[in-house]
Homo-oligomer: A and B are copies of this chain.
């Protein structure tokens, strides 16, 4: 799940990526990356606001997230209530999918076996060609009930 190696390595990669665009990797920005790295799945801005060590003002948090998204460091999606959620881009974490607990809202990263992944690709490309689309990516999300929430 972390083909890029240990924690510090991600910081290095992020720093380099930002530097290429003349963007500084400040301590506030570092703490956002750390917070996201600690999580086992996408994090909402509210969560990040809390989990961020220094108490980063919310406007700075949003600005940081926007910068990271533009730089291809974070990927944004939206949770069931429409709240933005962020996770590290796949070149930093590896390709994965999500399982979501509809009871407690937990969301976890899951890796798929190579065999399953190639089957998925086959399905996806068939599906896309039917609609005349050129495939760029796919998202598979499993909705279910996690162990803790299940009776």
Contacts and interface: CB of A to CB of B under 8 A. Distances in A.
A144 interface: yes
Interface stretch (A24-32, A48-56, A133-141): A133-141
A49 B110 CA distance: 38
Interface string A67-106: 0000000000011101110000000000001010110000
Contacts of A110: 127, 130-131
A138 B142 contact: yes
Interface residues of A, number: 41
A13 interface: no
A38 interface: no
18 contacts: A82-B83, A99-B128, A99-B131, A102-B136, A108-B131, A110-B127, A120-B123, A124-B140, A132-B146, A132-B147, A133-B147, A134-B150, A136-B143, A136-B145, A137-B142, A138-B141, A139-B140, A140-B140
